Amino acid sequence: MEKPLQLCPGSVKIDFASASYAGKADIAATAAALLHALGPPRTPPCYQLPLAKVNSSLPLWPPVICPSTFAQKRPMSLPSPPPAKKLQVQQSSSMLPQDFPKLEVLPVEKPTKLQVRRSPQHVSPALKQDSPKMERPLLPRPATFIDVMLSSQKPSSEMWSETKDVTLTRKTNCSCKYSKCLKLYCECFEKGRYCIGCNCTNCCNNVNHENARQDAINVALERNPAAFMPKVLNSTAHNCESKAAEGDIVGKHTKGCKCKRTECLKKYCECFKASVFCSENCRCTGCKNYKSNADRISQKNTVHAHHVQNPASSGMVGQSVIIFHAAENDSSLSLAASVSDHSINNNTSHVILLQHTFQICHGPCFLIG
DNA sequence: GAGTTTGAAACT
DNA sequence: CAGTTTCAAACTC
Asked if pLDDT for residue A146 goes beyond 70, the answer is no
Contact call for residues A282 and A258 (beta carbons, < 8 A): yes
Asked if pLDDT for residue A26 goes beyond 80, the answer is no
Give the span between the Cα atoms of A214 and A88, in whole angstroms: 13
Contact call for residues A278 and A257 (beta carbons, < 8 A): yes
pLDDT of residue A181: 94
| Whole-Å CA distances, A263 to A38, A87, A178, A238, A259 | 45, 39, 29, 31, 7
Q: Is the pLDDT higher at A25 or at A343?
A: A25
Asked if pLDDT for residue A302 goes beyond 70, the answer is no
Instruction: For A249-267, write each residue's pLDDT tens digit.
Output: 567 888 899 999 999 999 9
CA neighbor of A21 nearest in space, from A329, A289, A241, A227: A241
| Whole-Å CA distances, A124 to A110, A175, A190 | 9, 20, 19
**Closest nucleotide relative to residue A231's CA, C1' based:** B8
Asked if strand B contacts A262 at the CB level, meaning under 7 A, the answer is: yes
Q: Is the pLDDT higher at A121 or at A213?
A: A213
Instruction: For A318-328, write each residue's pLDDT tens digit.
Output: 332 322 323 32
Give the span between the Cα atoms of A199 and A212, in whole angstroms: 19
Contact call for residues A47 and A12 (beta carbons, < 8 A): yes
CA neighbor of A87 nearest in space, from A72, A70, A104, A75: A104
Helix A25-38 vs helix A156-163: crossing angle, to nearest 10: 70
Give the 3-state secondary structure of residue A34: helix
pLDDT of residue A231: 86
pLDDT of residue A290: 79
Asked if strand B contacts A301 at the CB level, meaning under 7 A, the answer is: no
Asked if pLDDT for residue A281 goes beyond 50, the answer is yes
Residues 145-184 of A near strand B (Cβ < 7 Å)?
183-184
pLDDT of residue A260: 92
Asked if pLDDT for residue A118 goes beyond 90, the answer is no
Maximum average pLDDT range among A105-119, A126-140, A163-177: A163-177
- As ranges, strand B nucleotides with an atom below 7 A of a protein CB are 5-12
For chain A, the first-to-last Cα distance in angstroms comes to 49
Asked if strand B contacts A60 at the CB level, meaning under 7 A, the answer is: no
The C1' atom of C8 and the CA atom of A178 lie apart, in whole Å, by: 9
Contact call for residues A197 and A240 (beta carbons, < 8 A): no
Q: Is the pLDDT higher at A186 or at A122?
A: A186
- Over residues A161-171, mean pLDDT: 35
The C1' atom of B8 and the CA atom of A124 lie apart, in whole Å, by: 21
Instruction: For A33-47, write each residue's pLDDT tens digit.
Output: 444 444 444 333 333
**Torsion over CA: A196, A202, A207, A211 (sign):** negative
Paired sense of beta strands A252-253 and A64-67, if any:
unpaired
Lowest mean pLDDT of A50-64, A143-157, A300-314, name the range. Answer: A50-64
Average pLDDT, chain A: 52
pLDDT of residue A251: 78
pLDDT of residue A75: 37
Asked if pLDDT for residue A311 goes beyond 50, the answer is yes
Q: Which helix (H) or strand (E) holds A360?
A: helix A358-361
Q: Tally the C-alpha atoms within 13 A of residue A118's C-alpha that lie toward its C-beta.
A: 12
pLDDT of residue A229: 87
Q: Is the peptide bond before A62 cis (omega within 30 degrees of 0)?
A: yes
Give me the residues paired with residue A104 across strands: A86
Give the span between the Cα atoms of A142 and A106, in whole angstroms: 14
